[in-house]
Structure 1
């Protein structure tokens, strides 16, 4: 397998093979560290995951239900990471108020809210039986 950092057809320099996988993993962990450091919502949602995932795993429910409970919590974190990325890009573009910037941030926030509602619904249906 040839590994290269040559420019690909998109014009972006990149790596191939195992080097690409290693670099992508490093970038992912860098992003997780940055989100944890700079986003209090991520820290709060991770705390919820740390508290509620063990509870889900010890409940007397099916394995599929356990997966749904934990996955709903992880989904909230995934959506929050995307929302944080949107906010960072919008803030990078400029600090002045712009309708589209505000709309992008509001839509990202709405996505987090919907994922939280979904998680609460799943927990209510499964645990609140």
Structure 2
């Protein structure tokens, strides 16, 4: 076992939950895009419950919205790691950041398509 690994058992679960909440807090405080997506979710998730759609359709509408938050967390993590390594401009750093941004663009496009298909 790695000497860098933490606790095991219940202690590990509590630590993991705390680290996850720390990550959500850091994303909300430090990332404007994450805050914008939280606002989008605050509007769209309740709307999914208000709409007259099947339970499966409602689940898909909510899932694609939450997926945008997940992708933004990964995108922000990649950007933070790249910035931690170096702030100098490098083609590989640009590619990594652009790919994270592209992943979010694909997710937002998927939200629009899924909501469009379900509602139209």
Provide the rounded CA distance (Å) in 2 between the counterparts of 1:97 and 1:78: 27
* Higher CA-based Rg: 1
Partner of 1:10: 2
1:13 CA drift (Å): 3.2
Higher helix share: 2
Structure 2's unaligned 5+ residue stretches are: none
Provide the rounded CA distance (Å) in 2 between the counterparts of 1:77 and 1:17: 28
| Residue correspondence of structure 1 range 47-86 to structure 2 within 5 A | 47-86=39-78
| Residue correspondence of structure 1 range 1-129 to structure 2 within 5 A | 9-127=1-119, 129=120
1:58 CA drift (Å): 1.0
Q: For residue 95 of structure 1, give the secondary structure of its aligned residue in structure 2.
A: coil
Q: For residue 47 of structure 1, give the secondary structure of its aligned residue in structure 2.
A: helix
Aligned length: 120
Q: CA RMSD in A?
A: 0.7
Provide the rounded CA distance (Å) in 2 between the counterparts of 1:42 and 1:15: 30
Q: Which has the higher contact order (CA 8 A, sep 6+)?
A: 2
1:14 CA drift (Å): 1.3
1:11 CA drift (Å): 3.3
Q: For residue 36 of structure 1, give the secondary structure of its aligned residue in structure 2.
A: helix
Provide the rounded CA distance (Å) in 1 between the counterparts of 2:6 and 2:31: 29
TM-score normalized by the length of structure 2: 0.97
| Structure 1 runs, 4 residues or longer, greater than 4 Å off | none
Provide the rounded CA distance (Å) in 2 between the counterparts of 1:83 and 1:66: 26
TM-score normalized by the length of structure 1: 0.91
